[in-house]
Structure 1
Amino acid sequence: MATPIGAKRVVSREQVVRGASRFFLEHGTVDMDRLATALAISRATLYRVVRSRDGLLGDVLWLLAERLLVRARQQRRRGGDDGVLEVTQRFTDQIRGSAPFRAFLRGEPETAARVLLNATGGVHRRAVSAQREILREVHGPGGPWSPSALDQLAYLYVRIVESMIYAELLGGAPLDPALAERAARAVLRPSG
């Protein structure tokens, strides 16, 4: 049913994020003017719904990453630390193989760093939470860590993974995956 002339179209944040995700996969970015047109809403409505482009990008990148992470978790065949590392390897292989994601990192490095790595960007915080759940899932409810140690472990583990995925974005050379895996494995060992 068409929206009557002069009437405002109501759109939810979820609809915008889904539309922006499709746009990102096609273009490797989110252009707010073109997205508003694609969603048949005004730019003012788009900003009213999402507040900021960075916030929208954080939601889009997390939605896409979460899909890959769910798939990696479903494909896991090992348990314990090897299972945690298997999920990480599957996930990072998919992320690094994503042409739209690589285009975003190359085309908008400052925005990418802000959205992906800062606490306010939304992606890092969600990644730590997801990693905490992976650790619980693989090691069982008790696991070898206290709740506060588990939070810190998830944070450190994610920072190692981010260092591997975003090495060039962080101003360094690409990390050797074997070295990154040894560092991640060392973090997973409970202290005695």
Structure 2
Amino acid sequence: MRVVSQERVVRGGCAFFLRHGTLDMDGLAGSLSVSRATLYRVVHGRDPLLGEVLWRLAERMLARAHAETTSPGLDGVLETTRRFADQVRQAEPFLAFLHAEPATAARVLFTPAGGVHARVVAAQRGILAAATDPAWSPGDLDGAAYLYVRIIESALYAELLGGHRADPGTTERAARAVLEAC
């Protein structure tokens, strides 16, 4: 039996996902030259691995969007979100995954099964903390980040969740309202 680290599996999973728009555990095991049983021992299932892969890819896009943002304050938060959403909408492997596996995508993106949502909220909390009045309490930031992310998710994944596209203008007004209310 060949030993493989979780980090190597996640990096391999990211590369596999970007090439194929999915994460086939047999294919990934083969590409890592390990057995499927070894792969599952390391990552404990496809959903947790998909969650880690999707988060790693999203984290890179979010960091890029944040680094490219030029506006200060709440306008900067919204600009970062627009930039991130544009990158997501252009990520062909991710779009292929959403269309091919909508139930899995919803489970991994929005529930604790994949852990993506909680990580996105934590990242958004950091963006809000850097861009807003230091008088906000941690509870205000937590609540604002959660609501803000849910609004953005509902728009970004509207086709997955409800079968239709969300209006970007309405989404941004709703997101701004959450930020200004805190």
Give the shorter-chain TM-score range. Answer: over 0.9
Q: Deviations over 1:60-97 (max 9, x none)?
A: 00000000001011111011110000000000000011
Separation of aligned partners in 1, 2:113 and 2:126: 21
CA positional deviation for 1:15: 0.5
Looking at secondary structure, tell me which structure has more helix per residue: 2
Identify the residue that residue 160 of structure 2 maps to in structure 1: 169
Q: Which residue in the other structure is 2:124 paired with?
A: 131
Which residue is 1:121 aligned to? 114
CA distance in 2 between partners of 1:12 and 1:49 (Å): 7
The root-mean-square deviation of aligned C-alpha atoms, in Å, is 1.0
1:27 to partner: Cα distance? 0.4
Q: 58, 70, 75: which one pairs with 1:77?
A: 70
Larger-gyration structure (1/2):
1
1:183 match:
174
Aligned AA (2:168): P
Q: Percent identity?
A: 62
TM-score of the pair, normalised by structure 1: 0.92
Contact 2:9 2:32 in 1 (8 A): yes
Deviation at 1:164, TM superposition (A): 1.0
Gaps of 5+ in 2: none
The corresponding residue for 2:137 is: 146
- The Cα shift of 1:190 comes to 3.3
Is 2:58 the counterpart of 1:65?
yes
Residues 40-79 of structure 1: CA deviation (Å, up to 9, x unaligned): 0000000000001000000000000000001011111011
Displacement of 1:10 in angstroms is 1.4
Distance 2:79 2:27 in 1: 38
Residues 1:27 and 2:20 aligned together: yes
Q: Which runs of 5+ in 1 are unaligned?
A: 1-7
2:32 aligned with 1:10, yes or no? no
Matched pairs, number: 182
Mapped contact 1:79–1:139 kept (Cα < 8 A)? no
Residue 89 of structure 2 aligns with which residue?
Answer: 96
